[in-house]
Chains A and B, each alone.
Chain A
Amino acid sequence: MNARQGFVGQSVERREDTRFLTGRGQYTDDITLPGQTHGVFLRSPHAHARIKSIDTTAAAKAPGVVAVFTGEPFKGVGGLPCGWLINSLDGTPMKEPKHPVLADGKVRYVGDRVALVVAETLAQAQAARDLIEVDYEVLTPVIDTAKATAIASNVHDEAPGNLCYHWGIGDKDGTAAAFASAAHVTTLHFRNNRLIPNAMEPRCANASYNAAADEYTLYVSNQNPHVERLLMCAFVLGIPEHKMRVIAPDVGGGFGSKIYLYGEETALVWASKQIRRPIKWTAERSEAFLSDAHGRDHVTTAQLALDKDGHFLGLKADTTANMGAYLSTFASCIPTILHATLLAGQYKTPKIWCEVKAVFTNTAPVDAYRGAGRPEATYLLERIVETAATEMGIDPAEIRRRNFITEFPYATPVGLTYDIGDYNATMTRAIELADVAGFPARKAASAAKGLKRGIGYAAYIEACGIAPSSVAGALGARAGLFEAGEVRVHPTGKVTVFTGSHSHGQGHETTFAQVVADKLGIPMEDVSIEHGDTGKILFGMGTYGSRSLAVGGTAIVKALDKIIAKGKKIAAHLMEASDSDIVFEDGLFKVAGTDKNVPFASVSLTAYVPHNFPHDKLEPGLNENAFYDPSNFTYPAGTYICEVEIDPATGKTTVERFTAVDDFGNVVNPMIVEGQVHGGLAQGIGQALLEHGVYDTESGQLLSGSYMDYAMPRADDVPSFHVETAKGTPCTHNPLGVKGCGEAGAIGSPPAVINAICNALGVKDVPMPATPHTVWKAANGKL
């Protein structure tokens, strides 16, 4: 990076903030198109039922109604596709029942889409929806994850016993042998609680069809507009891809839930052509609870085998993962590729075996939610490591140190190769920052007040920078996972960068500009970052898996390298020097070893006013694009330490201190990176203490379907955090040396919190969420 400029590494204030702070952001619902109509969906009130008949006659005649659509016309189009094929241990492919745009004969969860009503106003559409009569034959619902394969009712006829796949990874026999030789075995049974993502902006879409050009435009609250377009066009509606423009404008948070292609926007696009008018739909929060893809929901038994000194010999995990009623876009890879491959954690466990059964239930589809598989893996591993330490009387930091991987690259027994890390460094720093030495005194002070204090660790690792396409492809991915970037230098030397990454809170407009400004030696205000529009951006795989800077940023760097390479040739011509003698420093093209130079803006002007230009060697203009496919995942890692205080009389748990030390490699904007960690921590603490997506196991009704029932973390539920980004070990295989920071907080924090609670109470396990009632029961021996 350019030393004189030095934007990289600085906590530059965000350029996107002023529009958000003054009400000038433009989210999808803020956009109203000429001739706008409004759509609402009739949703299933039953978890599992056969649709005997639907009568839309009265609704269609209601005031203001433009059209009513049911599943009938969608019978001829494709289902919503799943992007990852998982094969079972017996070699058979996963079961992939059709995921219809609107229900086709059956409804499979409360909230399943039955009909779309389009009217002149939202109120008219809502009123007409109430006039649709559906005759349902209610069927037995399958709800409980652990019991799904044992219930005599099938969510899909194509998936007997509700089994989607039964997959495994690792060395089964070797792991069994390791257990046979173990001095100690620790066993835990637990549930990784179902979470509901709850981006604050509900999902929203506005679809229009331009008959003159036979083209569609879709505004949608989405994390990856090109993927949305590709899936909808190629797999569902059969629209030529070049006839569809997807724009994801300002997006109010995603956390995974806006990665996927959903039926709602698909129905809107299709219907917009039928009525030749734009249709807008905005989810109500209740609707979001029912129909956004949920997260987690694993039931797991884990066993760790250790020798007498606490060295790990083998790890066994048996997980049942709930897919919900249909396979969402990336559902199948979450409990497998993004979960089981992380079970080595930071440790040199020699033998690992993990089996995963994925099951269908009559609940909302489950897919990636912040962390996506890696929180489940980290919870499994860090809970069992801490439990083993307690059982064997070894300090929890010490047992980790004895097992840390210290030599890199390191090939794990579950398919990944870690390029670099320093786990002892982050743990040592976290112990200092958390003042672990002062814990006994604080515990005594709490005890004097009749309160129980506990401390818990979690040393997480994640695989980010998703993903090397060839590796992902070999593992079943049906898409590439590269990223694209374009750098357009204007004649005056100003620069517009187009990135396939999407920003919905991450601050790309700032951090990416920091990188570009440093690289070109120009002021940040000369750089603008464009994202989120298939009409502007050449291509993009979007934002998820903490990949934006590591993959999207690298694509931009590669395009910048091409700009500089061409600029050197233009400068060489202008200065009558040899191409090989030109260096680019501080925004100047210089003839090495002389004081001759031309500034960047002169070169860009020459590129567009090519009067004196090497036409025999170069084309005019200064515009380059690049695609970057990573050679490996990145591996952020760190140690989190949580300290809780519990009132045994009420079971109320207070997070008193939370310390996070992360190694993200190089950091472009520390303020933004720390902000990402803060947000992840609140979501992880939310999972540990508050949040739980609960269905009634008999009726299949969502019991936690509003903010009155689903406990979102609020300002007084979490403390201020002690967050520090370690000097770190830069990633070895991308030019920025960055690893990704978006998910770490949500990955590392739940086991730290639960470990702290178990430490405080002296119990082996407390289930998530550790609500006051649950903790009170644990404290009083009633669990």
Chain B
Amino acid sequence: MSTSLTLTVNGQSVTRDVPPQTLLVEFIREHLRLTGTHVGCDTAQCGACTVHVDGRATKSCNVLAHQVAGSSVTTIEGLEAADGTLHPMQAAFKACHGLQCGYCTPGMVMSAVDLVQHHGCHSEAQVREALEGNICRCTGYHNIVKAVIKGAADMKATA
């Protein structure tokens, strides 16, 4: 049943035998045991499973692992620098108290990084609209929005 799948995850090439129906999020969590990527729903609504596939934010619960064969996937575990320095967006979430229970956080951070890289961060309203696909039940979004704005500025400063 299983067929071989090769892709790059957090900069490292991985090859595994994977059943064809395996979702990307299952591959990441169960086959690679990278459990920072979370599952919060079953309708591709909550965004907790957001990772980057070839640099674009993707809900990994909504794509089969084999569909992204050969791609480069970045998960939350791949965001910090090799020396453990937090990515500016991770650091901004910490500084702004942009997380509480932490469950939606990896997806929220991956979406925020995608927003800044591809669209820039222009206003609070734009950030709120851009985060529409990521649900948080703890923070009321207030500090997440502050964190994304700060993270965007810090990404620019360190670029």
Given the complex, which residues of B lie within 8 Å of A708, measured CB to CB? 43, 45
Given the complex, which residues of B lie within 8 Å of A602, measured CB to CB? none
Of A104-112, A502-510, A608-616, which stretch is located at the interface?
A502-510
Decide yes or no whether B65 CB sits under 8 A from chain A.
no
**Contact in complex: A200, B94 (CB < 8 Å):** no
What residue in chain B is nearest A682 (Cβ atoms)?
A: B140
**Contact in complex: A198, B137 (CB < 8 Å):** yes
Decide yes or no whether B105 CB sits under 8 A from chain A.
yes
Known: A678-B140, A715-B141, A721-B140. A23 touches B101 (CB 8 A): no
Q: Interface code A170-210, partner B: CB below 8 Å = 1, 0 otherwise?
A: 00000000000000000000000000001111100000000
Given the complex, which residues of A lie within 8 Å of B99, measured CB to CB? 17, 20-21
Task: Report how far A505 CA is from B104 CA in the complex, Å.
Answer: 11
**Contact in complex: A714, B135 (CB < 8 Å):** yes
Q: Which listed residue, B35, B97, B127, B129, touches A675 by the CB 8 Å rule?
A: B97
Task: Report how far A123 CA is from B18 CA in the complex, Å.
Answer: 13
Q: Interface code A247-259, partner B: CB below 8 Å = 1, 0 otherwise?
A: 0001111010000
Q: Which listed residue, B38, B86, B95, touches A252 by the CB 8 Å rule?
A: B38
Decide yes or no whether B67 CB sits under 8 A from chain A.
no
**Contact in complex: A718, B101 (CB < 8 Å):** no
Given the complex, which residues of A lie within 8 Å of B129, measured CB to CB? 715-716
Contacts of A23-47 to chain B: CB distance below 8 A: 23-27, 29-30, 32
**Contact in complex: A678, B75 (CB < 8 Å):** no
**Contact in complex: A23, B43 (CB < 8 Å):** no
Interface size class of A (residues with CB under 8 A): 35 or more
Q: Interface code B86-100, partner A: CB below 8 Å = 1, 0 otherwise?
A: 100010011101011
**Contact in complex: B139, A683 (CB < 8 Å):** no
**Contact in complex: B100, A707 (CB < 8 Å):** no
Q: Interface code A476-511, partner B: CB below 8 Å = 1, 0 otherwise?
A: 000000000000000000000000000011110000
Task: Report how far A678 CA is from B138 CA in the complex, Å.
Answer: 8
Given the complex, which residues of A lie within 8 Å of B109, measured CB to CB? 21
Task: Report how far A29 CA is from B80 CA in the complex, Å.
Answer: 23
Q: How far is the CB of B130 from chain A (nearest CB, A)?
A: 8
**Contact in complex: A22, B76 (CB < 8 Å):** yes
Q: How far is the CB of B96 from chain A (nearest CB, A)?
A: 9
**Contact in complex: A679, B137 (CB < 8 Å):** yes
Task: Report how far A16 CA is from B93 CA in the complex, Å.
Answer: 12
**Contact in complex: A21, B135 (CB < 8 Å):** no
Given the complex, which residues of B lie within 8 Å of A681, measured CB to CB? 140
Task: Report how far A674 CA is from B79 CA in the complex, Å.
Answer: 28
Given the complex, which residues of B lie within 8 Å of A27, measured CB to CB? 35, 38, 103
Known: A21-B109, A714-B135, A715-B131. A200 touches B141 (CB 8 A): no
Given the complex, which residues of B lie within 8 Å of A720, measured CB to CB? 124, 142, 145
**Contact in complex: A706, B45 (CB < 8 Å):** yes
**Contact in complex: B103, A252 (CB < 8 Å):** yes
Decide yes or no whether A309 CB sits under 8 A from chain B.
no
**Contact in complex: B141, A718 (CB < 8 Å):** yes
**Contact in complex: B100, A507 (CB < 8 Å):** yes
Given the complex, which residues of A lie within 8 Å of B105, measured CB to CB? 20-21
Decide yes or no whether A745 CB sits under 8 A from chain B.
yes
Task: Report how far A679 CA is from B101 CA in the complex, Å.
Answer: 11
**Contact in complex: B141, A706 (CB < 8 Å):** no
**Contact in complex: B41, A706 (CB < 8 Å):** yes
Given the complex, which residues of B lie within 8 Å of A25, measured CB to CB? 36, 102-103
Known: A21-B90, A716-B128. A201 touches B42 (CB 8 A): no
Task: Report how far A680 CA is from B128 CA in the complex, Å.
Answer: 18
Decide yes or no whether B132 CB sits under 8 A from chain A.
yes
Given the complex, which residues of B lie within 8 Å of A674, measured CB to CB? 97
Decide yes or no whether A286 CB sits under 8 A from chain B.
yes
Q: How far is the CB of B84 from chain A (nearest CB, A)?
A: 8
Q: How far is the CB of B131 from chain A (nearest CB, A)?
A: 4
Decide yes or no whether A703 CB sits under 8 A from chain B.
no
Decide yes or no whether A275 CB sits under 8 A from chain B.
no
Given the complex, which residues of A lie within 8 Å of B33, measured CB to CB? 32
Decide yes or no whether A13 CB sits under 8 A from chain B.
yes
Q: Which listed residue, A13, A198, A201, A713, touches B94 by the CB 8 Å rule?
A: A13
> Which among A11, A20, A282, A286 has the greatest number of chain B C-beta atoms within 10 A?
A20
**Contact in complex: A21, B139 (CB < 8 Å):** no
Given the complex, which residues of A lie within 8 Å of B144, measured CB to CB? 715
Decide yes or no whether B37 CB sits under 8 A from chain A.
yes
What residue in chain B is nearest A506 (Cβ atoms)?
A: B100
Task: Report how far A285 CA is from B99 CA in the complex, Å.
Answer: 21
Q: How far is the CB of B20 from chain A (nearest CB, A)?
A: 12
Q: Which listed residue, A21, A200, A284, A505, touches B86 by the CB 8 Å rule?
A: A21
**Contact in complex: A200, B93 (CB < 8 Å):** no
Given the complex, which residues of B lie within 8 Å of A252, measured CB to CB? 38, 101-104
Q: How far is the CB of A772 from chain B (nearest CB, A)?
A: 17
Given the complex, which residues of A lie within 8 Å of B132, measured CB to CB? 714-716
Contacts of B120-159 to chain A: CB distance below 8 A: 124-125, 127-129, 131-132, 134-145
Q: How far is the CB of A671 from chain B (nearest CB, A)?
A: 5
Decide yes or no whether B7 CB sits under 8 A from chain A.
no
Task: Report how far A674 CA is from B146 CA in the complex, Å.
Answer: 13
Contacts of A380-431 to chain B: CB distance below 8 A: none
Decide yes or no whether B34 CB sits under 8 A from chain A.
yes
> Which among B77, B90, B139, B140 has the greatest number of chain A C-beta atoms within 10 A?
B140
Q: Which listed residue, A30, A123, A201, A721, touches B101 by the CB 8 Å rule?
A: A201
> Which among B105, B137, B139 has the greatest number of chain A C-beta atoms within 10 A?
B137
Decide yes or no whether A517 CB sits under 8 A from chain B.
no
**Contact in complex: A23, B76 (CB < 8 Å):** yes
Q: Interface code A282-302, partner B: CB below 8 Å = 1, 0 otherwise?
A: 101110000000000000000
What residue in chain A is nearest B35 (Cβ atoms)?
A: A30
Contacts of A704-762 to chain B: CB distance below 8 A: 706-708, 712-716, 718, 720-721, 723, 745
Q: How far is the CB of A23 from chain B (nearest CB, A)?
A: 2
Q: How far is the CB of A369 from chain B (nearest CB, A)?
A: 11
> Which among B124, B127, B131, B135 has the greatest number of chain A C-beta atoms within 10 A?
B135
Q: How far is the CB of A722 from chain B (nearest CB, A)?
A: 10
Decide yes or no whether A14 CB sits under 8 A from chain B.
yes
Task: Report how far A675 CA is from B99 CA in the complex, Å.
Answer: 9
What residue in chain A is nearest B78 (Cβ atoms)?
A: A23
**Contact in complex: A199, B131 (CB < 8 Å):** no
**Contact in complex: A200, B103 (CB < 8 Å):** yes
Given the complex, which residues of A lie within 8 Å of B79, measured CB to CB? 22
Task: Report how far A286 CA is from B132 CA in the complex, Å.
Answer: 20
Q: How far is the CB of A496 from chain B (nearest CB, A)?
A: 22
**Contact in complex: B94, A679 (CB < 8 Å):** no
Q: Which listed residue, A23, A32, A671, A683, touches B137 by the CB 8 Å rule?
A: A683
**Contact in complex: A675, B46 (CB < 8 Å):** no
Q: Which listed residue, B38, B95, B100, touches A13 by the CB 8 Å rule?
A: B95
Known: A679-B138, A714-B132, A718-B141. A22 touches B100 (CB 8 A): no
Given the complex, which residues of A lie within 8 Å of B75, measured CB to CB? 23
Task: Report how far A264 CA is from B52 CA in the complex, Å.
Answer: 34
**Contact in complex: B103, A201 (CB < 8 Å):** yes
Known: A200-B48, A715-B132. A285 touches B140 (CB 8 A): no
Decide yes or no whether A594 CB sits under 8 A from chain B.
no
**Contact in complex: B100, A675 (CB < 8 Å):** yes
Given the complex, which residues of B lie within 8 Å of A18, measured CB to CB? 86, 94
Q: How far is the CB of A688 from chain B (nearest CB, A)?
A: 14
What residue in chain B is nearest A282 (Cβ atoms)?
A: B39
Task: Report how far A282 CA is from B21 CA in the complex, Å.
Answer: 19
Other than the known A200-B101, A671-B97, what 16 A-B pairs have Cβ atoms closer than 8 Å? A18-B94, A21-B102, A23-B36, A25-B102, A27-B35, A199-B137, A200-B138, A250-B101, A253-B138, A672-B97, A679-B138, A679-B140, A706-B41, A708-B45, A716-B125, A718-B141
Give me 8 A-to-B residue pairs in the complex whose CB atoms sit less than 8 angstroms apart, sorted by A's number: A20-B99, A22-B77, A26-B35, A27-B103, A123-B21, A250-B102, A679-B139, A679-B140
In order of increasing CB-CB distance, the 7 nearest A-B pairs are A23-B36, A20-B102, A252-B103, A682-B140, A505-B101, A505-B100, A707-B45
Using a CB–CB cutoff of 8 Å, the interface residues on chain B facing chain A are 19, 21, 29, 33-43, 45-46, 48, 75-77, 79-80, 86, 90, 93-95, 97, 99-106, 109, 124-125, 127-129, 131-132, 134-145
